[in-house]
A and B are shown apart, each in its own frame.
Chain A
Amino acid sequence: MAAPAVSLLLLFVAVPFVASIGFSLYNVRLGDPRDPSFMGLTQYVRILTDPDVSGQFLDALLHNLIFAAVVVPVQTALALALALLVKKNIPGIGIFRSLYFLPVVFPIALVAIIWRLILARGDEGLLNSALTFFSGGTFGSQDWLGSELTALASVIVLSIWQGCGFQMVILLAALQQVPAELYEAAELDRANGWQRFVHVTLPGVRTTLVFVALYTTILSLRVFDQIYVLAKSGGGLNEDATRTVMYEAVTAAFDENNIGRASAISVVFFLIVVVLSLIQRRVTTEKEG
């Protein structure tokens, strides 16, 4: 009974995964009449040290790390705040729960296009019109996606907007499982709101918080769609300030027809995902123990 799923996984995950390790050692190109030549670890050495290539790759790696370092704590904290906000069953709360979850059903390619209009440069963008209007013109128009300073931040904002509701729902389910007696006992002990949050709520949802953070870390390392749409479909995104590792892999394969280098980038990407997940798991389990 396991045969269909196992053979599909072999064909579309295991074989390509092993192949990527193989390809990364060769000079592989699509439609090249010559046989690929063996290069050993040259692709890896180049993406890490060759000044023509490594600059872009290391930038991409840095952007991935900044993205994860901001998105993971901010999105998790925001999701927890939203979950606390919609936890109590008061009239109309269902509407708000749906409202915060709504962006989750938006494909990220569409999210990128909507935000491209909101963040457009000049007075055309919704955000710029709003800022000019509310500041009475003292705060001028910004090129949010084009400027080196704000490009990555813009991508972070739209990614959090889309992803936050998902984490909120998971944390809401965890919050609802915290026994009410604990809150009543805390109240008897005259704990104030903050003390109840620190001593009852946080310990009660700790495992879920760890899971959410881990999951968000892996997702944030995989970031690709929104950057590709904004950079390639006329979004005016500052490519140099936002490229990520997956973006590098796809451009190496697609635009430069360098499957060998793209495979090496994919292998490095996979190793980073594994190492960061292991570190994160170790840190969180140590805290628990």
Chain B
Amino acid sequence: MAQTTASNPKISRRELRSRIPHYAALLVTGLLFLAPVAYMVAASLAPASDTLAGFTVFDVTQWGLHNYSGVASSLSSDSTGHLWRFFAVSFTVTVAVVGLGLIVNSMAAYALARLSWRGRAVALLAILLILIVPFEAVAVPMFYLYNDARNTLWIQILPFIGNALSIFLFYSFFTGIPRSIDEAARVDGAGPWRIFWQIIAPMSKPAYASVAILTFLTQWGSFLWPVLMISDPNLRPLPLQISVFAGQLPPAWGQVMAFGVLLVLPVIVVFLVFQRWFIEGVASSAVKG
């Protein structure tokens, strides 16, 4: 970067100087956004203390990993739940909802966008109507209707696979693909299934990436539904568990923050690895939608 700056005659010393306020603004806002995250990480490394520690958590000389081993040992019985199980539940639910959701919703979008069948117009209208029903509006009746399924894994997964927003995002992507492509394939004797799996789906990687990212973020942070349906510590997903853990008396704040770091770390790793896709995917799906 420095080389291109030096070799580029267009960037004058005046321009470099004008960048100083720009960088200053970036730095100040950046610190505001970073501070709560830094506080969480610092508090997770600070010495165990049952009172909140304020600034003292930033004392690097005192840092250690004992809060992390503390979390592992305090969450390791059937009454508290096991640390590994919270992860297992969150991973299973998220992977199932994202994976099955991608398949089911893209198939539906393909049928709506590119096949002609009886009831297509009605189905399309129904999807558009469902798009405006927020999950919050059906959470309470669902809590009553599916009460027998409380404390199961499938009730955390099944309601979130079919997703009108995902269908809509796939639909708008698929309608943008030229019709001539399927027609050429049909002339070659391919049926709708083959056209979908072998031609349309591979062409639509950006749509799959952005829907996967949006579903992953929503599902990993899912809270309202588990609050209503899950009381068994062996079936609690991570976001529900951290609220339970933080509400215990006396709260061990260092351990709560260590748990928070563990909860968000998988998302940050995914975020850093797929950074380009992450930001582009979110942006492109939203600008289109």
Contact = CB atoms under 8 A, between A and B. Distances in A.
Interface of A: 1-2, 4-9, 12-17, 19-20, 23, 28, 30, 82, 85-86, 88, 90-93, 95-118, 120, 123-126, 128-130, 133, 161, 165-166, 169-170, 172-174, 177, 208, 211-212, 215, 218, 221-222, 224-225, 228-229, 232-234, 246, 249-250, 253-254, 259, 262-263, 265-267, 269-270, 273-274, 277
Contact of B30 (A2, A96, A169, A265): A96
B54 A114 contact: no
Contacts of A250: 139-140, 224, 227-228
Contacts of A8: 104, 158-159, 161-162
Given A7-B162, A92-B1, 7 more contacts: A90-B22, A98-B271, A101-B279, A114-B37, A172-B283, A225-B224, A265-B140
- Considering the complex of A and B, which 7 residue pairs feature the smallest CB-CB distances, nearest first? A8-B162, A107-B221, A173-B283, A233-B247, A5-B108, A124-B52, A129-B54
A104 B145 contact: no
Contacts, number: 277
B260 interface: yes
B221 A103 contact: no
A103 B37 CA distance: 8
Contacts of B280: 173
B76 interface: no
B136 A113 contact: no
Interface of B: 1-2, 5, 19, 22, 25-26, 29-30, 33-34, 36-37, 39-40, 43, 51-55, 104-105, 107-108, 110-112, 115, 123, 126-127, 130, 132-134, 136-145, 147, 158-162, 164, 167, 192-193, 196, 217, 220-224, 227-228, 238-240, 242-244, 246-247, 249, 251, 253, 256-257, 260, 263-264, 267-268, 271-272, 275, 278-280, 282-284, 286-287, 289
Interface of B is mostly: helix
Nearest to A99: B30
A115 B36 contact: yes
Contacts of B287: 170, 173-174, 177, 208, 211
A4 B196 CA distance: 16
Given A170-B283, A274-B132, A4 B107 contact: yes
A118 B244 CA distance: 19
A113 B281 CA distance: 29
Contacts of A30: 144, 147
B239 A125 contact: no
